[in-house]
Amino acid sequence: MKNLYELTDEQLVSMFQEGNNNAFDTLLKRYESKVFSYLLFSVKNQELAEDLFQDVFVKMVVRIKNGQYAENGKFASWMMRIVHNHLIDHYRTSPSDRIISNDESEIDLFNNADLAVNENREQEMIDQQTLAEVKGLIALLPEPQREVLLMRVYDELSFKEIAQKTNCSINTALGRMRYAILNLRHMAFERGISMAS
């Protein structure tokens, strides 16, 4: 069998869909410099670029595993479209853009999403139950994956900080986060728990 580095993008995607995680790692190494450079150029911030980089590759993992990649011979274009769209989403949801406009009033503090009160108690209870179920799933993750996930989501640490705290490389931290999310989605699916995409 050929060395993974000699295979085409399409062959690697196909192998990853069949369960070969090394195939995706090869794709990651093939494109990480291009993707990271683009993100860093766009956001001008090393730690933010690292976080966005991780998010982009998690999205790719999920989409490939869910059968949402079907563009033969165009992996690089498909990947860069995800990167570009993720950047747009990042800017769209930045704190300065969270005010909903109201043309009928010059000043309307209640349209600020950060100040809004959730009046839907039923939805709030459903959200709390889902959160409790997800926390239960997190407890089932292997320790290295759980540790990285908790530091990223709850402590809001960058992957550089996580790597320093866990005494591993940034790529190892990224990999643990990627597999933690994949495992959570798999366990949630098996138990019929809805997780937002």
pLDDT at 108 exceeding the cut of 80: no
Domain ranges (residues) in the chain = 4-96, 120-191
**Is residue 103 very low, low, confident or very high in pLDDT (cuts 50, 70, 90)?**
very low
pLDDT at position 101 is 39
pTM for this structure? 0.49
**Is residue 167 very low, low, confident or very high in pLDDT (cuts 50, 70, 90)?**
very high
pLDDT at position 104 is 43
Beta pairing partners, 112: 99
| CATH dotted code for 4-96 | 1.10.1740.10
Of 54-58, 151-155, 167-171, the least confident? 151-155
pLDDT at position 141 is 83
pLDDT at 124 exceeding the cut of 60: no
pLDDT at position 109 is 40
pLDDT at 126 exceeding the cut of 70: no
C-alpha distances out from residue 114 to 22, 84, 89, Å:
42, 26, 18
**Is residue 184 very low, low, confident or very high in pLDDT (cuts 50, 70, 90)?**
confident
Burial of residue 86 (number of CB atoms within 10 Å: 0-12, 13-18, 19+):
middle
> Does the domain at residues 120-191 carry the CATH identifier 1.10.1740.10?
no
Mean pLDDT along residues 1-25: 86
**Is residue 94 very low, low, confident or very high in pLDDT (cuts 50, 70, 90)?**
low
Mean pLDDT along residues 133-141: 76
pLDDT at position 125 is 54
pLDDT at 195 exceeding the cut of 50: yes
